[in-house]
Structure 1
Amino acid sequence: MLDFFKYQPRMPGLRFFPMASYATDLSMDRLVLGVDNIRCDVRLSPSFRNATAKLAALLIERETGIWTIPEKKRQSALAREQENYRQQYGQVMTDAINKARAAKEMQVDFLAQIAVLRMVHEEIREQYDVLIGHCKSTIRRSDMANNNDPKESLKLKDNLAHVLQSRETVQQKVGLELCEYFREIRETEIREMREAVFGQDLPFLFDLLANPIIHRDNPFNDYFMIEEYDLCLGRRVEDPDRYEMMVSLMRSIFAFLEMEDTAAISWSLDRRRREIMAAEVETKDSDKQFQMERIDGWVRCPENIDLLLNRKLAKEQYRELKREKAERKTLRDFRIRMKHQRLLMGYFFRQFSRTGLLERITASYEMQSLYRDYCPPLVPQQILQYLIAPKSRKMVRNRLKRLKKLYDKSFRLWPLNRKVVQMERMGKRQKKAYLVRFLRAFCRYHRDFYCFKIYRDAAERINLVTDKKILALSKANHTLYEFLLPHEQEMGEKPIMNHTIIKADLRGSTDITHQMNDRGLNPASYFSLNFFDPITEILSEYDAHKVFIEGDAIILSIFERVETPSGWYSVARACGMAINMLMIINRYNKKSQEYQLPVLELGIGICHRADAPTFLFDGDNRIMISPAINLADRLSGCSKSVRRIIRKNISPFNLFVFQGVSDQEIKKTADDLLLRYNVNGIELNEAGFRKLAQEIDLKQFKGDIPDLKLEKVSLFTGKFPTKSGRYQRLVLREADVPAVNPEDLSQIRFTHRKYYEVCTSPKLYKATQHLIRS
C-alpha cells in the first residue's frame, strides 16, 4: 500500500527520440611494431618537418608579439610558409593514402595522420622553447652591456614573463591554426582520394583537428574550460561536479531512461527505487560493456541534449513545420515529443537539484561576467564558492585584503554580493536554461576529452624516428613506415606486378582506304591526324605506353609496379583512356562530316592480367609477350554476322555479347567463341572488373531508368585519379550473356556468363550520378 502512494509515473524513455551516438573505429592493432617491439616506427618527410618548425616559429612569434625577424619581412615570410606548408601536407597525405592502398590496410593512413599530429605538437613545444631561450639570451646580453638601459632590461624581463605565462594558450592557438590548414586540405584535395580508395573517411580524425584539448598540457584548467567549453567543473574530491562524477551521473540517468523504455522494472515501485534497481540490474559483463558503450555514445553527442530537453528549440522547429504545412502525423509526433521533453526536463531538474549540482551550475554561469575582475589573484573556483557557500566568503574577503597592495588595486565585493542575491531570487525558467546550457557544454567536453584520450594512446604507440641507426635497422627489418614528399622518394624503376592491355580496332579501315584513294586523298595522314596522333597526346595522362601499332589498330599497356601505389589504377586508367579515345574519334568525326570525309568507328577491348608480362628484344626494341593482348583483341572485335543483323542501335549502350554455340562447344576450347556487337563500344574482361572494384570504391545501381527507356539494368560507378591528379568518373554495365540463335539472334535463354561494358553515353552518366545521389 505504501508503494502505491509513492508511485510516480514512468519517464517517457528514449525510444521517442532519434538519439545520435558518437563512436570511433580508430585502431592500429594490425600494424607492424618497430624495432623496440612496443611502438610503430614512423619516418615523416624531413622537409615537411622543417616546414612545420618554420611555420610554428612564425606563428608563435606573431601570437606573443616577440619577433626575431625584421618587420618588413614578417607578412611575406608568414604567407610564403603557409602556402608551402599546405602544399607539403597534401603531398605527405597523398603518399600515406597510396601506401595504405598498397598495403590494403586503412590503418596505415590512420598511422600517418596521428604521426603528423604528434610531430606538430613536438615542433610547437620545441619552437616555444627556442623562443624562451631567445628571450633569456637577449636579457643576458642586455644585462652585460656597458650602456645597459634599466627600462629596456625591465621590458625584456616582462616579455619573458608574458611568454612563460601564456605558453599553453599560445601553443593551443598555434596548434589549432596548423590543424585548420590540415582540415582545409582534407576537405578540398584529400577527401575525394580517400573516398575513392576507402569509401567514407573516418569522422573522428577530422573532428580531432578541431579539438582544443589535444593542444593542452592541462585539459582541466579553469580558464581554458570556461573560454573554450563554457564550463567550470570542480576538482576537489568533495565537489559533486567533478568530471568523473558528472560522467557517472549522466551515464546513470541515461541508463535509467533506457530501462524505463524496456519496462524491465516493476511499475509499482517509486521512481527512486527504480533508479537504484536500474543501476544494480544484473547483466553479463559483455552485455554491460556493450550497454555502457552505447550509453556513453549518447552522452558524447551534445545534440542529444537539445533533442531531449531544449523545448525552446523544439517550439521553433514545430512552428517551422506548421509554416511548411507538414503532415498531421508529423505534427502530432512533434507535440508528443514536446510533452515528453517537459517530463524529462522536470526529471533532470529534480535530479540536479537533489544532488546540489544545480546551484553550482547556476553560480558557474552567473560568475562568468565578472570572474576576470578577481582572477588573479583568485581562481574561478574560489569565486564560485563565494557565490554558493557563505562560509567561504570570509576567507575570500581576507585573501583579497592581503593581496590588495601586491596588485595595487582594491577589489570591490558588492558585485559578488549582488550576484548572491540574484541567485536567491532566480526563477526555475532561468535555472532550467542554465541546466540545458551546462549539459550541452559538458557533452561536448566529454566527447573531446574522449577523443583526446584515444589520440594520446595512439600517439604513444608511435616512434617518430630521426636517428640514422634506428632508421637503418627498421628499414632492414621492414618495420619502417615512411610518409614522404615526392622528391624524397627513392629513385629507380620498380618491378612490374601486373598489367592491363587496351586494344583499339578501327572498323572498316580497308573500305575507308579504298574510298580515299579513289578520291585522290591520303588515308595515311587521315588516320594519323584523326586517330594515332591525338591518342599519343593523352598517353601520359593515363600512364599508358604503346605496345604495337598497325594500320588499323593500336595496342597500349598500363603497368602497375611494386611499391608505387600512386599508379595502382591500371584498369581504371585503361577505362578512362578508352573513353577519351572514343571522345577523340567523335570530335574528329564531326569535323570530317563537315568536309564529307569518312567517319571512323572503333571497337575497344580491355584485358587485365594479375601478373607481369614477358619481354624479348629485337636489337634495341623491346617486345612484349602477354596473353592479355590476344584476349583484348577478341574483346575489341565485332562479328560481321551480328553487325548485319543489328544495323541501327538506338540504345545508350554500344556493346552486346551473345553465345551462339552450345555450352559443350565452349567447354571444349580455350578460345573465345562468343559473338559480339562492338561499335564504338568498350568491353572489359571479368578479371579486369574484379581488379577495378579493388582500385576504387564502386557503387552499384540495379533497376529501371525510365528516362532512357532502360529496364533491369545493373550499373556500377566510381571515380579514379589520372596521373596528373584529375578525377574522372566511370560508369560500367554488367549484363548476362544470352544464348541465341546465331541466324537471327533470337534469344533462347540467359547463360551464367556475364560481360562488362565501359559506358560512354553522357545521358547515362548524368542519370547514374542522379541515381547514386538519391
Structure 2
Amino acid sequence: MKRFDNLFRWRPDAEEFSKPLQLKRPFKLLFDRLPTGIDNHRIDVALSPEFMERCRLFVRRSMMHDVTENYWGEPPPPPDNKDLLALREGYAGLMELTVDRARKYNRLEMVQLLQFGVMKFLLRLVGQEYDRLRNQVQRAKNLDNHQSSGRSVQLHDRLVALARNEPAIRYRVTRRLFREILKIENMRLSKLRKSVLGRSWPVPKPLLFNPMLQLPSLWADEQAMGHYPLVCTDRDDPDAFDRVNRLVTGLFAEFLPSWCANVEPSDQFDTTCSNIQAAAQRHPGEQGGLIGYTETLMLLKRSLQPSEYQSGQCSWLDSPENIDRIVYSVKHGGAIRTDFDAPLFRTTWHNDKWPGFHHRLMKQILKAFHGSRVERDLLACHAGPLVYQELNRQVPVRLLCQYLAGRMTRGDLQRKLANLPGKIAPAQVIKVLDRMRSTISSMPAPRRRRRIFSFLRHFALFRRDLKQAYQAHLAMRRIHLLIRPEDIELSRRNGSLLEFPLREELQPEQHRIRNHVIIKADVRGSTTMTSELRNRNLNPASHFSLNFFEPINKLLENYGAKKVFIEGDAVILSIFEYEDTPYQWLCVSHACGLARKILQVVDNQNVKNRENDLPELELGLGIAFSDEAPTFLYDEGREIMISPAINRADQLSSCSAAVRKSEYGKRLGRGVMVLTPAPSETVNKESSDKLIRYNVNGIELDVPAYYKLKSELSFRRVELESGKRVMNDHLLVARYPDLEGHMHDLVIREAAVTVWDGEKSGRRAADGRCYYQVISDPEMVDYAVKQANQRRRPLSGAVSAPQQAKPTSPGRYH
C-alpha cells in the first residue's frame, strides 16, 4: 500500500530540486603553465628574504608573548606594533609587484603561486618556531643540569607545558598570523586585483583562509570545536566522517550528482591518526612539513569518490547555505516543528506541491537520525564544549563527548580521570556529566529537531572545507620553497626560478621610469579675465593662484603627480611609472582621476567667485600617454623635461575659436567634441592630427592613453539611451584605487569624430576615427555605474566603432 501511495506523491527531479540553490564554480589551479624546478617535480619559488625575516620575527615574538602569558607565569613582553606593520606591508609589497606582473604578461597563475607559496611558508614557519622555542628550553635545561644551578625543575615544567599545550600554542599564533594577512587583503589588495585584473580573488577566499588549514591537526579537538562539530573528527573512530557522510548523502541521493554517491574504496587507507603525525614529523620533506594533507586524504579516501575530491567538483551540497534554503523554505509545523523561528528564504521552489514534499523530506531526515548513533554523537558533541568550559578546561573535551554519547562506562571514565594531570575531582566531573546526560535525554523534541537541522548545515561546511583543504594541500605540495642560496642560484641559472621580491630588493637597473602620462590644464579666456581684474583694481596673479594653482598643488600627492612647469595660464603635470613601484602602474587611471578633481576644484571655486562677483575660471584638459621614459635636460641645475606627450596634451586641451563662436558652438556648453574639417573647409589653426577640438571644462584622452587605460583596469560597457547618445557613442565603466587605497569610479565616453562644415557638425568622419572623453558630471557617472552594476558584463577586446546617429549636445557628458 505504501509503494502504491508514493506513486501519487509529487517529488521534484534533480534539476528542479537544485535550480533555486547556489552552485559554486570549481576552483581552477593554473600551475600547469609554470616551469618545473630543479627536482623535476615541483615549482621552484623564492620569496623575498626581507619578507620571510619579517614574518619570522612576528611569529617568534607572538609565540613568546603567548607562552609567557599563558603557561610560564611571567609578565609577557610588550607587543611591538612595528612587527605587525612590517608583516602587513611586506605582504602587500609582494602582492602589488605580482599583480603588475600578472597584468603585464597575462599570468594570473603568478598571483595564485604567491598566495599558496606564502600560505605554505607561514604554516611551516609556525611549526619551525615552536620547535626552536622547545629546543631552546631543552638546551637551557641540559646546561642547567651540567652546572647544577637549580633551575632544572622550572625548565622541566616549562618543557612539559610546551608539549602539553603545543596544539593550542600553534593554533593561536597561526590564527593571528592569517587574520592579519586577511585584513590587508580585505582593506587593500583584493580591491587592487579587482581594478587591475578584474578578479578580487584568483584563489577563492574561503579556500585560502580555510580554518581547517590553520588547525594544528584535525584531531586537535579543543581547537577544532570552535569551527566544526566534533562528530567527524574522533581520533579513536576513523569511520566517523564516513558514517555521517553516508547518512546525509543517502538522504539526498536522488538530488545529487552521481559522483557524490558513496562507494567502497578499492584500497583501504590503512593508517591511524597517530602514525600520520609521526610519519609527518619523521619525513618533513615528503609532507612539506604539513601533516594536514595526509589527515585530510585519510578522511576523503574512506568516504568520497576520487572524481569528486581530486578534481574539486562542486555540487549544491558544497554551499552550506543551501541546507538552510531547503530546511527553512517552508514554515515548520506538526511533527517537524522546532523551537526556533527561522526566517523563510525568499529564493525557493515555486511549485504548489513543494510544501507537501518538504514536509515528507523533513520527516524522512528526522527519522533517519532518530535513535541512531549519529544523533547521540551530535547531541553529545554539541553539549561537550559547554561542559568543557564549566570544568575550566581541565578535562579533554573528547572524553566528555564519549561519556555523554554513552560510549564510555563510568568506570572507564573514572580511570581516565585519575590519570589526568592536575587536581581533578572525578566525582565532581561525573556529577556534572550525569546532569548533562539527563538534560540530553529529556530534551524536548522541537529542540532536538533543531539540533539535527543545524548539524546538517555544519556537516556540509565541514565536508566542503575538507575538500577545499585537500585542494590547497595539493597546490602547496607542488611548490618547492627554496631557502638555501645554492639552490636558488642553481634554479635561477636553469631559468626555472620564480622570484617574489620586495621593491627595495629589485636590482638597481629596475629603478627607472618605464613610461609616463602628461596632463595639461589650460585656462580659457585668461587675457580677457586679466584685463577685467585689472580694470577693477584686483590682482590677477593672486586670483589665479588662489583659485587654480594652489588647489591643484594640494591634489598632486594622492595621485603621484608632479608639476612639470607652468606655462602662463596653463599648468602641465606628469605621472611616471617606475619599474620598482608597481602599485603606481596605473598612471592613466590616476591622471583621469586627477583631471576630474581639478575640474571639481575649479567648479567649487567658481561658486565662491560668483558670490563675490569675480570672474569665473574655465578650463580645457588633455591627457596624453607615452610608453617610454621622457628625456631630461638641465639648465643651470633646473630639470627640463622633453616629451612628445606634452605637445599632444596641448592639442587635446585646446578649443577651436571658430567652433566656439559659431551658433552651433554657443549651444554646446560643457564637454568635449572632436571634429574633422570638410574637404572644402579651411581653418586657421589645425592640430597635427588634422582635427578641430571643442573643449570647455572637458577632459580628452589621446588614443595611446585610452589603450593604456584599458590595460590597467577591467571595464564594463554601458549602452546609452537614445536621448543621451551622440552618434551611437557609449560609456565604459571601471574602478581604480588612488595611492591611499581609496576606490573611485571612472567613466570614459567613446564617440565618433564628425565632420565640421564651418557651421555645424554632421555625418561621421569617413576614416571612422573615435575620440575619448573622461566623464566628470556626477549625475552621468552615477547613471553609468548603476547601469554597469546591473549588467555586470566585462568588456573584452577592442571596442567596435560607433555607428551614425542623430547628433546632440556634448554638454550631457561633461
1:160 maps to what in 2?
159
2:770 maps to what in 1?
754
Q: How does 1:137-152 map to 2 (within 5 A)?
A: 137-144=139-146, 146=148, 148=150
Native 8 Å contact 1:310 1:341 kept in 2: no
Q: Does residue 502 of structure 1 match 2:519?
A: yes
Distance in structure 1 (CA, Å) of the matches to 2:379 and 2:403: 12
Distance in structure 1 (CA, Å) of the matches to 2:502 and 2:216: 31
Q: Are the structure 2 counterparts of residues 521 and 69 from structure 1 closer, same or farther at C-alpha, using a change threshold of 3 Å?
A: farther
Question: The residue matched to 1:742 in structure 2 has which SS?
Answer: coil
1:463 maps to what in 2?
480
CA displacement, residues 632-679 of structure 1 (integer Å, 9 cap, x when unaligned) = 34322222222123577687851123344269999xx99534433211
1:281 maps to what in 2?
none
Q: Does residue 346 of structure 1 match 2:363?
A: yes
CA displacement, residues 24-44 of structure 1 (integer Å, 9 cap, x when unaligned) = 345433344444443333333
Native 8 Å contact 2:510 2:579 kept in 1: no
Q: Could you tell me which amino acid in structure 1 is paired with residue 186 of structure 2? A: E
Displacement of 1:527 in angstroms is 5.8
Native 8 Å contact 1:204 1:451 kept in 2: no
Native 8 Å contact 2:96 2:189 kept in 1: yes
Displacement of 1:712 in angstroms is 7.7
CA displacement, residues 285-336 of structure 1 (integer Å, 9 cap, x when unaligned) = xx996999897432222222222235798789998989x9x9xxx9995986
Native 8 Å contact 1:102 1:563 kept in 2: no
1:266 maps to what in 2?
none
CA displacement, residues 96-152 of structure 1 (integer Å, 9 cap, x when unaligned) = 43443344333322222222222222222222123212332443455455563xxx7
Q: Are the structure 2 counterparts of residues 449 and 525 from structure 1 closer, same or farther at C-alpha, using a change threshold of 3 Å?
A: same
Native 8 Å contact 2:219 2:235 kept in 1: no
Displacement of 1:364 in angstroms is 4.5
2:797 maps to what in 1?
none
Question: The residue matched to 2:31 in structure 1 has which SS?
Answer: coil
Q: Are the structure 2 counterparts of residues 449 and 602 from structure 1 closer, same or farther at C-alpha, using a change threshold of 3 Å?
A: same
Distance in structure 1 (CA, Å) of the matches to 2:596 and 2:397: 69
1:49 maps to what in 2?
52
Q: Are the structure 2 counterparts of residues 522 and 9 from structure 1 closer, same or farther at C-alpha, using a change threshold of 3 Å?
A: closer
Bigger mean CA offset, 542-551 vs 153-162 = 542-551
Q: Are the structure 2 counterparts of residues 665 and 456 from structure 1 closer, same or farther at C-alpha, using a change threshold of 3 Å?
A: farther
1:21 maps to what in 2?
23
Q: Could you tell me which amino acid in structure 1 is paired with residue 110 of structure 2? A: V
Native 8 Å contact 2:10 2:357 kept in 1: no
Question: The residue matched to 1:228 in structure 2 has which SS?
Answer: coil
1:111 maps to what in 2?
113
Displacement of 1:164 in angstroms is 0.4
Bigger mean CA offset, 617-626 vs 692-701 = 617-626
1:677 maps to what in 2?
694
Q: How does 1:646-661 map to 2 (within 5 A)?
A: 653-661=670-678
Match of 2:582 among 552, 555, 565: 565
Displacement of 1:578 in angstroms is 2.6
Match of 2:720 among 703, 706, 718: 703
Distance in structure 2 (CA, Å) of the matches to 1:379 and 1:67: 20
Native 8 Å contact 2:630 2:641 kept in 1: yes
Bigger mean CA offset, 443-452 vs 747-756 = 747-756
Q: Could you tell me which amino acid in structure 2 is paired with residue 30 of structure 1? A: R
Q: Are the structure 2 counterparts of residues 351 and 204 from structure 1 closer, same or farther at C-alpha, using a change threshold of 3 Å?
A: farther
- Normalising by structure 1, we get a TM-score of 0.77
Question: The residue matched to 1:760 in structure 2 has which SS?
Answer: coil
Q: Are the structure 2 counterparts of residues 750 and 595 from structure 1 closer, same or farther at C-alpha, using a change threshold of 3 Å?
A: farther
Bigger mean CA offset, 471-480 vs 574-583 = 471-480
2:456 maps to what in 1?
439
Question: The residue matched to 1:638 in structure 2 has which SS?
Answer: coil
2:661 maps to what in 1?
644
Distance in structure 2 (CA, Å) of the matches to 1:584 and 1:413: 74
CA displacement, residues 689-734 of structure 1 (integer Å, 9 cap, x when unaligned) = 232122123343333499x999987333333344565554433222
The unaligned stretches of length 5 or more in structure 2 are 264-304, 791-814
Displacement of 1:171 in angstroms is 0.7
1:38 maps to what in 2?
41
Displacement of 1:68 in angstroms is 12
Q: How does 1:468-479 map to 2 (within 5 A)?
A: 468-475=485-492, 479=496
Displacement of 1:238 in angstroms is 8.6
Distance in structure 2 (CA, Å) of the matches to 1:728 and 1:2: 64
Displacement of 1:161 in angstroms is 1.3
2:96 maps to what in 1?
94
Distance in structure 1 (CA, Å) of the matches to 2:365 and 2:689: 73
Distance in structure 2 (CA, Å) of the matches to 1:532 and 1:383: 73
Q: Does residue 198 of structure 1 match 2:197?
A: yes
Distance in structure 2 (CA, Å) of the matches to 1:174 and 1:107: 29
Distance in structure 1 (CA, Å) of the matches to 2:343 and 2:214: 42
Identity of aligned residues (%): 28
CA displacement, residues 371-417 of structure 1 (integer Å, 9 cap, x when unaligned) = 8989999983796488456xx75xx7367458747878556878778
Displacement of 1:542 in angstroms is 3.8
Native 8 Å contact 2:171 2:223 kept in 1: no
Distance in structure 2 (CA, Å) of the matches to 1:294 and 1:652: 58
Native 8 Å contact 2:624 2:646 kept in 1: yes
Q: Are the structure 2 counterparts of residues 582 and 649 from structure 1 closer, same or farther at C-alpha, using a change threshold of 3 Å?
A: farther
Distance in structure 1 (CA, Å) of the matches to 2:480 and 2:173: 23
CA displacement, residues 560-599 of structure 1 (integer Å, 9 cap, x when unaligned) = 3446423322222222333344345445556666776654
Q: Could you tell me which amino acid in structure 2 is paired with residue 397 of structure 1? A: G
2:299 maps to what in 1?
none
Native 8 Å contact 2:244 2:374 kept in 1: no
Distance in structure 1 (CA, Å) of the matches to 2:417 and 2:762: 102
Q: Could you tell me which amino acid in structure 2 is paired with residue 19 of structure 1? A: L
Question: The residue matched to 2:720 in structure 1 has which SS?
Answer: strand
2:273 maps to what in 1?
none
Native 8 Å contact 2:558 2:740 kept in 1: yes
Question: The residue matched to 2:33 in structure 1 has which SS?
Answer: coil
Q: Are the structure 2 counterparts of residues 650 and 661 from structure 1 closer, same or farther at C-alpha, using a change threshold of 3 Å?
A: closer
Distance in structure 2 (CA, Å) of the matches to 1:345 and 1:384: 28
CA displacement, residues 214-241 of structure 1 (integer Å, 9 cap, x when unaligned) = 12342144554445312222769997x5
Distance in structure 1 (CA, Å) of the matches to 2:370 and 2:332: 24
1:743 maps to what in 2?
759
Q: Are the structure 2 counterparts of residues 82 and 566 from structure 1 closer, same or farther at C-alpha, using a change threshold of 3 Å?
A: closer
Native 8 Å contact 1:12 1:343 kept in 2: no
Distance in structure 1 (CA, Å) of the matches to 2:365 and 2:112: 39
Match of 2:467 among 438, 441, 450: 450
Q: Does residue 714 of structure 1 match 2:730?
A: yes
Question: The residue matched to 1:448 in structure 2 has which SS?
Answer: helix
Distance in structure 2 (CA, Å) of the matches to 1:153 and 1:99: 55
- Normalising by structure 2, we get a TM-score of 0.74
Distance in structure 1 (CA, Å) of the matches to 2:440 and 2:697: 80
Q: Could you tell me which amino acid in structure 2 is paired with residue 175 of structure 1? A: T
Question: The residue matched to 1:105 in structure 2 has which SS?
Answer: coil
Distance in structure 2 (CA, Å) of the matches to 1:534 and 1:427: 70
Q: How does 1:155-304 map to 2 (within 5 A)?
A: 155-202=154-201, 205-208=204-207, 210-233=209-232, 242-247=240-245, 250-251=248-249, 253-258=251-256, 296-304=314-322
Q: Are the structure 2 counterparts of residues 486 and 496 from structure 1 closer, same or farther at C-alpha, using a change threshold of 3 Å?
A: closer
Q: Does residue 579 of structure 1 match 2:596?
A: yes
2:132 maps to what in 1?
130
Q: Are the structure 2 counterparts of residues 3 and 538 from structure 1 closer, same or farther at C-alpha, using a change threshold of 3 Å?
A: closer
Question: The residue matched to 2:488 in structure 1 has which SS?
Answer: helix
Higher helix share: 1
Distance in structure 2 (CA, Å) of the matches to 1:340 and 1:26: 40
Q: How does 1:685-700 map to 2 (within 5 A)?
A: 685-700=702-717
How many corresponding residue pairs? 734
Bigger mean CA offset, 581-590 vs 676-685 = 581-590
Question: The residue matched to 1:74 in structure 2 has which SS?
Answer: coil
Q: Could you tell me which amino acid in structure 2 is paired with residue 604 of structure 1? A: L
Q: Are the structure 2 counterparts of residues 223 and 514 from structure 1 closer, same or farther at C-alpha, using a change threshold of 3 Å?
A: closer
Displacement of 1:167 in angstroms is 0.6
